Amino acid sequence: MSLPALKDFRRIVVKVGSSLLINSAAGEVKEAWLAALAEDIAALHRDGREVLVVSSGSIALGRSRLKLPRRPLKLEESQAAAAVGQIALARIWAKVLAEHDIDAGQILVTLQDTEERRRYLNARSTIAKLLEWRVVPVINENDTVATNEIRYGDNDRLAARVATMTSADLLVLLSDIDGLYTAPPAANPDARLIPVVEAVTADIEAMAGAAESELSRGGMRTKIEAAKIATSAGTHMLIASGKIAHPLRAIADGGRCTGL
Ligand code: GLU
* Nearest-atom index, ligand 1, CA of 222: 9
Span from the CA of 82 to the centroid of ligand 1 (angstroms): 9
Predicted local confidence at residue 246, as pLDDT: 96
Distance in Å, CA 1 to ligand 1 centroid: 32
Angle, alpha carbons 237-104-51 (nearest 5°) = 25
Longest dimension (CA), the chain: 49
Query: What SS3 class is residue 131?
Result: helix
Q: What are phi and psi of 21, to 5 degrees?
A: -85, -30
Please tell me the predicted confidence (pLDDT) of residue 217: 53
157 C-alpha to center of ligand 1: Å?
A: 11
Atom of ligand 1 nearest to the CA of 62: 10
Q: What distance in angstroms lies between residue 153's CA and the mean position of ligand 1's atoms?
A: 6
pLDDT at 218: 57
Residues 22 and 29: beta-carbon distance below 8 Å: yes
- Would you state the pLDDT for residue 209? 63
Q: How far is the CA of 213 from the centre of ligand 1 (A)?
A: 12
Residues touching ligand 1 (Cβ under 6 Å) are 18, 56-60, 140-141, 143, 154-155, 216-218
Q: What is the pLDDT of residues 188-247, one digit of tens each?
A: 888 899 999 999 988 888 877 654 444 445 578 899 999 999 999 999 999 999 999 999
The per-residue pLDDT string of the chain (260 residues; one tens digit each, 9 = 90 and over) reads 566 688 889 999 999 999 999 998 888 899 999 999 999 999 999 999 999 999 999 999 999 999 999 899 999 999 999 999 999 999 999 999 999 999 999 999 999 999 999 999 999 999 999 999 999 999 999 999 988 878 898 999 999 999 999 999 999 999 888 999 888 788 888 889 999 999 998 888 887 765 444 444 557 889 999 999 999 999 999 999 999 999 999 999 999 999 99
Identify the pLDDT of residue 63: 95
pLDDT for 214 equals 42
Nearest atom in ligand 1 to the alpha carbon of residue 61 is 10
Centre of ligand 1 from the C-alpha of residue 127, in Å: 20
Instruction: Tell me how far the alpha carbon of residue 92 lies from the centroid of ligand 1, in angstroms.
Output: 16
Nearest by Cα to 94 from 143, 47, 144, 41: 41
> What is the β-pairing status of strands 28-29 and 22-23?
antiparallel
16, 20, 54, 59: residue to mutate for ligand 1 pocket, most atoms within 8 A of CB: 59
Going by CA atoms, what residue is nearest to atom 6 of ligand 1? 154
pTM of this prediction exceeds 0.75: yes
Query: What is d(CA 126, CA 73) in angstroms, rounded to the nearest whole number?
Result: 32
Q: Specify the ligand 1 atom closest to the Cα of 18.
A: 8
